[in-house]
Chain A
Amino acid sequence: MDALILQILNGLDKGGAYALIALGLTLVFGTLGVVNFAHGALFMLGAFCAVTFNKFLTLETVTLDPTQQTPWGTAMEIRTPVVEAYLGDFGAVLINYSVPVSVLLAIPVMLVIGIVMERGLIRHFYNRPHADQILVTFGLAIVIQEIIKHYFGANPIPQSAPAMFSGTAQVGMLFGLGDAIPYPWWRLVYLFFSLAVIGLVFAFLQFTTYGMVVRAGMRDRETVGLLGIDIGRRFTVVFGIAAVVAGVAGVMYTPVLPPDFHMGMDFLVLSFVVVVVGGMGSLGGAVAAGFLLGILQSFASMNEVKSIFPGIDQIIIYLVAVVILLTMPRGLMGRKGVMED
């Protein structure tokens, strides 16, 4: 029982990340009709917003002390933290909360990156075949990845969750199981955060006029254009929003998974499977498929399951994708006519 609950929590947590990335991916596909292989890179860029902010907060001044020597015979470097020395206790608090604060920083940064990406490159590929779009966005992802590697190196850079969330929560207490189910606080925070972001995106699309126009544009771009609405501009903003969603998902994921330049690519492939399983262009489908696949992946890793089907944990997602596509070719919630021309 406790093992099952733990795996469900793991699945929900992982599913939250899949869903957030897949949501942006399917949003861009639904509005602009572009298959954006650089979307994983946006998740990674978000994570590196947190890394950059943390690096800024922990900047040090370097002075050489000729009285002390390094083992290789040069003068010892004395490092003094700048921000903490300047801001005192507030500086220490800021460093402690650098990940959540980075979310605020990542929102404008990712919005700008998204809009620049769409205006600068992707809009030139709207009328080109999907294969061209995939090639150019994939190329873009590699370029972004290599730039990050050049500046930050290839090794993962660990980021700490705020001290108050760094321990484990005794989830078992809720089920009367005592301390059998310890679960990291930050993973629970991430789960609620992803649910909140998903809720916000749906609320934006459902309850605002802007969102209504976007949804109308997703259904019939031409008619919305004929009504005198500059749907292109709105879709650019949607691209920016998708970038923000992926970015903040990346920021909050850093204490779970130390970010490196390749993390976007690792998530991208799975997120594409999520989008396809959920139904191309379907927002609800992406979220449902994200959580479903996350949970299935966790269950498949259980020793009891692996002893019956060895190696199932490594293929489960693709197996489910094959089964769903064979039985429901449009995915779980796919709309008729999408990618069927």
Chain B
Amino acid sequence: MSKLIINRRGLLKAGAMGGVVLAAPTHFIRNAYAEDMSCNMPTGDTVVFGFNVPQSGPYADEGADELKAYQLAVKHLNGEGDGGALATFSSKALKGNGVLGKKVAYVTGDTQTKSDAARDSAKRMIEKEGAIMITGGSSSGVAVAVQSLCQDMGVIFMAALTHSNDTTGKDKKRYGFRQFFNAYMSGVALGPVLAEAYGKDRRAYHLTADYTWGWTQEESIKNATEAQGWETVNAVRTPLGAGDFSQYLTPVLNSGADVLILNHYGKDMVNSLTQAVQFGMREKQVNGKNFEIVVPLFSELMAEGAGDAIKGIYGTENWNWQLDTAGTKAFVQSYGKEYGAPPSQAAQVAYSQAILYADACERAGTFFAPEVIKALEGFEFDGLGNGKTLYRDSDHQCFHDVLVVQGKENPKDKYDTLEIKKIVPASEVTYDPAIFGGDLGPYDAKTCG
């Protein structure tokens, strides 16, 4: 009968062997990150998304539309409904069984279109409600603020409505991603169309919302129109939410300008445009030409608010529900059936961003944030509505076709407000990321403190 003798050397050897065996899978099996934990990685059978949208304040309608789209995306991710644009999406990683086999749940926050409120609600969703990612926002001020918070907390931020060059320019972050286009791209797309429609000898007067988005849009549109031979007479900053813009509009009348460019969004744009029309600017003749108004960034909801004033006015859009792409058709069909109205561009960007995050997790095979980021960086896709799109790795900006639109003269119904005048290909609006500077920062994972 043999006797089991365990001496000190034997025990150490066995322990070392055991350690190697236990550690082996994490080294040899792909995508098994036993030690790689990032903030709020799911432990149960659900994964929580955080939808941070304006549910009150001036952009509440945009926020409501975003939220509807997010809820639809969750349905599709979980295999409910008709699947929407998942069927047309070029990546086939998502199977309609949640993300990595975990059912998608969500929590919501109200940004109130205020940076501090948006940061508070994002923080709450991350710290108290276990959100693994944050998506949403209307307003670049909010997006920049939330994006920087997300970088600090190691949570991926999929920005929705934000058009400032700064979001993926000087304020870009490793943990922030933007599918929406930016002011620079609007300028490049719009400049030649304006020169063609109104001629090259024009004098423009800018009224600009006094915050990050307004400043970058003013700069971009100024550069783009001046490149076409236009002259900029004046650029005046107006306070956000001014309501009555009459005191800023009247100096335009006798300034010698023959084009008014409104770098306003949402309620401000509805008010300034309506009032500019009231001051007779659309019937005015200056320098022997018809006075024109341009609104570089349009949205369907704004067009609805501005009513007749929008007719004939040029602007740009990230996406429009009347676009003839398979992804658009699938999404419009699904959204229309669910809510009885076509989706706005706010809804489309929200839907896409939720799907893109889920897909990146699935392709990375993990929820570990640095790996998900790598899966999104340089990702090329199609079928979500905007045509062929690249998520550029150097600044996390998406590049896809940009639409130049014009307020429709004879709309069929209340949704038929904008007409697509030109689809500017992605290659024409692509730029060198160095022009806006900024630094993405580290991939370092955090564990929510």
Stretch at the interface among A26-34, A197-205, A213-221, A252-260: A252-260
- Is A182 within 8 A of B280, CB to CB? yes
Residue positions of B touching A, CB distance < 8 A? 56-61, 64, 234, 236, 239, 241, 243-244, 246-248, 250-251, 253-254, 267, 270-271, 274-275, 278-280, 283-284, 301-302, 304-309, 321-322, 329, 332-337, 340, 342, 413
Chain A: minimal CB distance from B311 (Å): 13
- Is B275 within 8 A of A256, CB to CB? yes
Contacts A167-B280, A258-B270; A154 near B336 (Cβ below 8 A): no
With A153-B61, A158-B274, A301-B247 known, 19 other A-B pairs at CB within 8 A are: A7-B247, A11-B247, A71-B321, A71-B342, A74-B337, A154-B58, A154-B59, A154-B64, A155-B61, A156-B305, A157-B305, A168-B279, A182-B279, A184-B279, A186-B278, A187-B246, A257-B271, A298-B247, A302-B247
Residue in B59, B244, B251 whose CB lies within 8 Å of A303? B251
**How many positions in chain A have a CB within 8 Å of any CB in the partner chain?**
49
Residue in B58, B283, B309, B333 whose CB lies within 8 Å of A262? B58
Chain B: minimal CB distance from A156 (Å): 5
Residue in B248, B304, B340 whose CB lies within 8 Å of A301? B248
- Is A71 within 8 A of B332, CB to CB? yes
What residue of chain B has the Cβ atom nearest to residue A263's Cβ?
B243
- Contact residues in A for B270 (Cβ distance below 8 Å): 155-156, 158, 258
Chain A: minimal CB distance from B162 (Å): 19
**Bound: A302/B251 CA distance, A:** 7
**Bound: A255/B274 CA distance, A:** 9
Contacts A187-B278, A257-B243; A72 near B335 (Cβ below 8 A): yes
Q: Which of A7, A73, A74, A154 has the most CB of B within 10 A?
A: A154
What residue of chain B has the Cβ atom nearest to residue A166's Cβ?
B278
- Contact residues in A for B246 (Cβ distance below 8 Å): 10, 13-14, 187, 298
List, sorted by A's number, 5 A–B pairs whose CB atoms are closer than 8 Å.
Answer: A14-B247, A72-B337, A154-B60, A155-B61, A301-B248
Residue in A14, A154, A256, A298 whose CB lies within 8 Å of B278? A256
- Contact residues in A for B247 (Cβ distance below 8 Å): 7, 10-11, 14, 297-298, 301-302, 313
**A261-285 interface code vs B (CB 8 A; 1 in, 0 out):** 0110011000000000000000000
Chain A: minimal CB distance from B390 (Å): 28
- Is A256 within 8 A of B254, CB to CB? no
Chain A: minimal CB distance from B316 (Å): 20
Contacts A74-B336, A158-B309, A182-B279; A2 near B254 (Cβ below 8 A): yes
**Is A195 at the interface (CB under 8 A from chain B)?**
no
- Is B61 within 8 A of A71, CB to CB? no
Chain B: minimal CB distance from A59 (Å): 14
**Bound: A167/B279 CA distance, A:** 8
Contacts A256-B278, A258-B305; A154 near B332 (Cβ below 8 A): no
**Is A136 at the interface (CB under 8 A from chain B)?**
no
Chain A: minimal CB distance from B260 (Å): 14
**Bound: A13/B279 CA distance, A:** 14
**Is A180 at the interface (CB under 8 A from chain B)?**
yes
Chain B: minimal CB distance from A14 (Å): 6
Residue in B306, B335, B337, B340 whose CB lies within 8 Å of A158? B306
- Is B248 within 8 A of A155, CB to CB? no
A residues 149-185 in Cβ contact with B at 8 Å: 149, 153-158, 160, 166-168, 180, 182-184
Which 5 pairs of residues, A with B, have the shortest CB-CB distance?
A72-B336, A154-B60, A301-B247, A168-B280, A6-B250
